[in-house]
Amino acid sequence: MKGAFMVPAYLIRATIDWIRHSSEHANSNPYSRCEEAVKFCQQIWEEQLGPADLYLVEPACTTAYWSEFFHTPETDTLEDEKEWREGLLKRSSQYDSFDDWQDWFKQNYAKVYKDDVIWMGVLTTAWAHTHQYEVIYSDDAWEFRPATSYLQTTELWRLEPYMSMVAEILEEVWLEEIKEYQELGFTIEQQRIPYLGKAECLGFDTKRVLAVWPPRANKDKEIIELGEMVADIVVPAGDDWYRNIDKVIFAHGYVDVTALIARARYIFGSRRRLLELSVDSDPDQAKIQASAEGWLVPEIQSSYV
């Protein structure tokens, strides 16, 4: 457990799950449980990781709490959570603009609403959930991003015993991948960002990774979503959109290291090959060529900074 706790996002998710299922808070309400989750997370954080940056930990914990709130299966949903969730989703779905939704809520729930992190978490996450977004808190700002597949807590507990080992192996594979980029004339830049990440990304999303193109490409730096690639390796999305631990890598109750490395090299290599082909070709032609070679080709457009 200690090793897994060293991934901040896991600590947050574990704390939230404990608070939600604690008999001590059974007669509480979702808002109050979120408050308690933030307090408990800060306490555990200091025990496991040292002094907590409250300006980062509080919104990260709040965002994770409400994301879990909206993704919890019906079989694990408390009665008051069900009532809150139905009401929030019904109302937030009626507004195309988040600002309009926020204004309506402030006016109609003026007696209970206050400008704090928890209510902001409620409103942003509710609106995001009904508009196919997810909420990210980074660089002192709330941000809506296109929704990605969610790792439910039941799957997180299945992954937990292997998190540290898998992260160490993937770090080694990624270092090898950086050398492959360098041989092609790319430079990889990595820098820490004020973001605690998602548990399934194993800490790889807490830094910004940029690929600097070879000079002849004359293109801007490109973001490499390393955290999402790691999640796709370890807990790929299933037919129900939610993430599940890989059935091959974890097939026998332990980590199949050979399978893990092979899948990581394929996922990482697919991204590298697409960029390599894009140096002298337009993106569409590069995708066609990469797909013909058997690489994994994303349908989304490339992102630039």
**Do residue 244 and residue 176 come from a single domain?**
yes
Please state, in angstroms and rounded to a whole number, the distance separating the CA atoms of residues 116 and 254: 43
**Do residue 192 and residue 266 come from a single domain?**
yes
Considering 95, 116, 146, which residue would you say is the last residue of a domain?
A: 146
Is position 264 within any domain?
yes
Proportion of the chain in helix, strand, coil states, percent, rounded to 5? 60, 10, 30
Q: What does the pLDDT look like over 29-48, one tens digit per residue?
A: 999 999 999 999 999 889 88
Q: Where are the alpha helices (DSSP H) in 109-162?
A: 117-130, 153-159
**Do residue 256 and residue 125 come from a single domain?**
no
What pLDDT, on the 0 to 100 scale, is given for residue 13? 96
**Do residue 95 and residue 199 come from a single domain?**
no
What pLDDT, on the 0 to 100 scale, is given for residue 4? 53
What pLDDT, on the 0 to 100 scale, is given for residue 164? 93
Say which residue the tokens 């299945």 belong to.
158
**Do residue 261 and residue 182 come from a single domain?**
yes
**Do residue 38 and residue 9 come from a single domain?**
yes
Is position 6 within any domain?
yes
Across 181-187, average pLDDT: 98
Counting the structural domains of the chain, the total is: 2
What pLDDT, on the 0 to 100 scale, is given for residue 5? 47
What pLDDT, on the 0 to 100 scale, is given for residue 240? 86
Please give the residue range of the domain that contains residue 30. Answer: 2-146
Is position 266 within any domain?
yes
Considering 117, 146, 175, which residue would you say is the last residue of a domain?
A: 146
**Do residue 126 and residue 55 come from a single domain?**
yes
Bigger pLDDT: 52 vs 277:
277
**Do residue 122 and residue 233 come from a single domain?**
no
Buried-state track 177-187, b at ≥16 Cβ within 10 A, e below 16: bbebbeeeebe
**Do residue 7 and residue 40 come from a single domain?**
yes
**Do residue 110 and residue 7 come from a single domain?**
yes
Please state, in angstroms and rounded to a whole number, the distance separating the CA atoms of residues 158 and 253: 10
**Residues 6 or more apart in contact with residue 92 via CB below 8 angstroms:** 101, 123, 126, 127, 129, 130
- For residue 298, what pLDDT band results from cuts at 50, 70 and 90? confident
What pLDDT, on the 0 to 100 scale, is given for residue 138? 76
Is position 302 within any domain?
no
Please state, in angstroms and rounded to a whole number, the distance separating the CA atoms of residues 129 and 137: 15
**Do residue 100 and residue 223 come from a single domain?**
no
- For residue 2, what pLDDT band results from cuts at 50, 70 and 90? very low
Is position 191 within any domain?
yes
What pLDDT, on the 0 to 100 scale, is given for residue 219? 93
Considering 89, 111, 146, which residue would you say is the last residue of a domain?
A: 146
**Do residue 240 and residue 138 come from a single domain?**
no
Across 211-239, average pLDDT: 95
- For residue 300, what pLDDT band results from cuts at 50, 70 and 90? very low
Q: What does the pLDDT look like over 101-143, one tens digit per residue?
A: 999 999 999 999 999 999 999 999 999 999 999 999 876 788 9
Q: What is the DSSP letter of 298?
A: -
Q: What does the pLDDT look like over 230-285, one tens digit per residue?
A: 999 999 998 888 999 999 999 988 999 999 999 999 999 999 999 999 999 999 99
Q: What does the pLDDT look like over 70-102, one tens digit per residue?
A: 999 999 999 999 999 999 999 999 999 999 999
What pLDDT, on the 0 to 100 scale, is given for residue 280? 92
Is position 298 within any domain?
no
Is position 118 within any domain?
yes
Is position 275 within any domain?
yes
